[in-house]
Amino acid sequence: MTVRREPATPVLTVEDLSITFTQRGAAPTRAVDRVSFEIGAGEVVGLVGESGCGKSVTALAVMGLLADRNVEIGGRIAYAGTELLGLPRKRMRDLRGADLAMIFQDPLSALNPVVPVGRQITEMLSRHRGLRGRDADAEAVQLLGRVGIPDPERRLKEYPHQMSGGMRQRAMIAMAVSCGPRLLIADEPTTALDVTIQAQVLELLKDLVETEGTALLMITHDLGVVAGLCDRVNVLYAGRVVEAAPRHELFGNPVHPYTTGLLRSIPRMDGDRGVPLNPIRGSVNDLVAWADGCAFAPRCDRYELECLAGTPAVTELPGVDHEHRCVNPPGTPAVVR
């Protein structure tokens, strides 16, 4: 008799997620448009794209932190098989912190300004891990030390405004990892940090994924971070995933002109002097509605009339785990691995 093994339930499943902001007196804006991805235990999945493409809004929806008013959320979000959309607030609050944690893009507004940083961490430890008093303090010191905060005993007593931006970012990271979440969302966790601390924080996240099997959603516009950390990458443009593949496949064989543009626009330290940088022209505001065609068309070198003949369908490359939404992709480029 053959034993059929059920595939493990992903830690996070996002399926056809759409988020529309409906402000009174303004046309509704669809910030996220049928986005789907999964993250397994011990896996790092990247969400990459320019400013305003819907990365943070996706993360906030997963955490149940979008306001109830003026927002419509469609599709599915499931954590280890539990549907999160529509879950009672109390249940969601219990999951947040202990099972799902997020490193917010803006630590100053995510930390409570009137509570010392140490207490914010010990409160988490007490609520979710039952640690109190000296035990909680000792753990908080250890956590701050782990994210590279010097003199952690003293820093515990400081308020967020007394810390530098990078320091706050690290305190935020310490808080997010304090309860050993199964899913961690890191929203541009290293943007405010200098490169040495950046490397340290990425190492810490990598360690967490490898030793604890944490599922990590890494949100970034930095393809260097993606190259160093992500197993799989979703490239977002104007709220839609335009290309998705494992990291090596995406870097070796990028198909969508937006992805190739992103890759080309990375400045190279070893490039010849005087060679101009290669930005993608225009801005994310030069948009076509996805319903009418490819939103990237106005900025695309390969634009043709058929790009505006309706929503580009998802195309799967034969034989590989790689999909994209481009009706006019460049001739199959050489696969460089």
Ligand X SMILES: Nc1ncnc2c1ncn2[C@@H]1O[C@H](COP(=O)(O)OP(=O)(O)OP(=O)(O)O)[C@@H](O)[C@H]1O
Footprint on this chain of ligand X (rule: CB under 6 A): 21, 29, 31, 51-57, 105, 221
Compare residues 120 and 259 and give the one whose CB is closer to ligand X: 259
Per-residue 3-state assignment (H helix, E strand, C coil) for 105-160:
CCHHHHCCCCCCHHHHHHHHHHHHHCCCHHHHHHHHHHHHHHCCCCCHHHHCCCCH
- Least Å distance between CB 53 and Mg ion? 9
The SS3 of residue 263 is helix
- Least Å distance between CB 237 and Mg ion? 14
Checking phi first, is residue 94 left (phi over 0); if not, alpha (psi -120 to 50) or beta? Answer: alpha
- Least Å distance between CB 6 and ligand X? 34
Compare residues 120 and 220 and give the one whose CB is closer to Mg ion: 220
Site for Mg ion (CB under 5 A): which residue of 14, 19, 56, 325? 56
Q: Which does 221 bind (CB under 5 to 8 A by kind): Mg ion, ligand X, none?
A: ligand X
Q: Which does 299 bind (CB under 5 to 8 A by kind): Mg ion, ligand X, none?
A: none
- Least Å distance between CB 20 and Mg ion? 18
What does the radius of gyration of the chain's CA atoms come to, in whole angstroms? 21
- Least Å distance between CB 188 and Mg ion? 6
Q: Which does 52 bind (CB under 5 to 8 A by kind): ligand X, Mg ion, none?
A: ligand X
Q: Which helix (H) or strand (E) holds 166?
A: helix 165-177
- The answer to whether residues 282 and 296 touch, using CB atoms and an 8 Å cutoff, is no
From 14-22, 104-112, 139-147, 284-292, span contacting Mg ion (CB under 5 A)? 104-112
Compare residues 149 and 218 and give the one whose CB is closer to Mg ion: 218
Q: Which does 29 bind (CB under 5 to 8 A by kind): ligand X, Mg ion, none?
A: ligand X
Letter string b/e over residues 232-242, b meaning 16 or more CB atoms within 10 A of that residue's CB:
bbbbbbbbbbb
Compare residues 50 and 135 and give the one whose CB is closer to Mg ion: 50
Sign of CA dihedral 120, 125, 127, 128: positive
- Least Å distance between CB 88 and ligand X? 23
- Least Å distance between CB 24 and ligand X? 12
C-alpha to C-alpha distance for 47 and 27, rounded to whole angstroms:
27
Compare residues 32 and 136 and give the one whose CB is closer to ligand X: 32
Compare residues 72 and 83 and give the one whose CB is closer to ligand X: 72
Residue 202 is given by DSSP the state: H
Residues 6+ apart with CB under 8 A from 168: 107, 108, 111, 117, 160, 192
Q: Which does 162 bind (CB under 5 to 8 A by kind): ligand X, Mg ion, none?
A: none
Q: Which of 46, 15, 12, 19 is nearest to 238 (CA)?
A: 19
Binding site for Mg ion (CB under 5 A): 55-56, 105
